[in-house]
Amino acid sequence: MQLRTHKRKRSVVINVTSLLDVMFNLLLFFMVSTTFLSTPAIKLELPKASHAEVIEQRPIIVYVGVDGTVYLNDEPVNVALLSAALEGKFAEGDERSVVLQADSRVSHGTVVEVMDAIKAAGATRLVVSTEPVK
């Protein structure tokens, strides 16, 4: 006589498909949200300098690309109109410092022309951006 009935043990199965979907979505979210960089629309190769200083304020930035294109805070501008555009930016705030980021392969004449337009606009401080020597 058999009093006990043997029950079959059920194996537990965890479906990980939905877990993988959630993990991939989280991975995608973190990858996309952490790659926001404040870079200009053009790729610049800055000249190297052994004595560099970091600026903590948010000044007006003028970019000069390798082909001589000029950008004022990520907006393309003609060199002849740069002075007037800078005067408009100076009227918005009381800060009159300008950071010049020119590619190291740009001609010296173009950089001097841009610096002259910045000075004509009434900038009180001009900083030339460089990269530290490694």
Domain boundaries, the chain: 48-132
Please report the pLDDT score of residue 46 as a whole number. 73
Q: How far apart are CA 131 and CA 47, in angstroms?
A: 6
Beta strand 60-64 pairing with 70-72: antiparallel
Contact 53, 27 (CB under 8 A): no
Burial of 70 (0-12, 13-18, 19+ CB in 10 A): buried
Residues 6+ apart with CB under 8 A from 103: 44, 45, 46, 64, 65, 66
The 3-class SS string of the chain reads: CCCCCCCCCCCCCCCCHHHHHHHHHHHHHHHHHCCCCCCCCCCCCCCEECCCCCCCCCCEEEEECCCCCEEECCEEECHHHHHHHHHHHHHHCCCCEEEEEECCCCCHHHHHHHHHHHHHCCCCEEEECCEECC
| Mean of pLDDT values over 32-45 | 67
Please report the pLDDT score of residue 26 as a whole number. 92
Please report the pLDDT score of residue 6 as a whole number. 67
- Among residues of the chain, what percentage have pLDDT more than 70? 82
pTM of this prediction exceeds 0.75: no
* The CATH number of domain 48-132 is 3.90.950.10: no
Most confident of 10-14, 17-21, 55-59: 17-21
Q: What is the pLDDT of residues 107-122, one digit of tens each?
A: 889 999 999 999 998 8
Q: What is the pLDDT of residues 62-108, one digit of tens each?
A: 999 888 889 988 888 988 888 888 888 888 776 788 899 988 898 88
pLDDT greater than 80 at residue 34: no
Please report the pLDDT score of residue 40 as a whole number. 58
